[in-house]
Amino acid sequence: MKTLPLIYIILSLPLLLTGCDGTSKQPTYTGAASDTPTSTANVPADSILEQQVNTAIQRDPLFRNGDVSVAVLESKVRLSGRVATPEHIAKAEEIARNIQGVKAVSNDLVLSGAGTSY
């Protein structure tokens, strides 16, 4: 019966010897689209940024009744929807860029048809 613990020790030696080498194995990315990390580590930060940008835009009197959608991925904001004037487009982008933590803004807002008032 004394050989049973000895067998466990002998069998676990390879695991103990190859387990951890003390270095951190971080993935490296070349920047190619195919190796972009798909981690959800930014999800909380992105959702907070999205809420902050949405709130800031809705608080501006120009956008109280506007149709501006905000999406955030990896701290990059995408604005979409319809607004009344080119000034609205520029103002929405300015508001988004002024939120701390926003890395970039993609402004896909378009002008709505004539006669729409915001």
Range of the domain at 59: 41-111
Q: How many domains does the chain have?
A: 1
Going from the C-alpha of 6 to that of each of 3, 18, 56, 60, the distances in angstroms are 5, 19, 67, 74
In a domain, 45, yes or no: yes
What is the predicted pLDDT for the residue at 34?
47
The mean pLDDT of 113-117, rounded to a whole number, is 55
Q: Quick: pLDDT tens for 37-85.
A: 455 555 568 999 999 999 999 999 988 776 899 999 999 999 999 998 9
In a domain, 13, yes or no: no
In a domain, 83, yes or no: yes
| Residue 104: strand pairing partners | 76
Q: Quick: pLDDT tens for 81-102.
A: 999 899 999 999 999 999 999 9
In a domain, 91, yes or no: yes
Instruction: Read off the CATH number of the domain in which 60 is found.
Output: 3.30.1340.30
> Residue 117 above 90 pLDDT?
no
Confidence of residue 106 (pLDDT cuts 50, 70, 90): very high
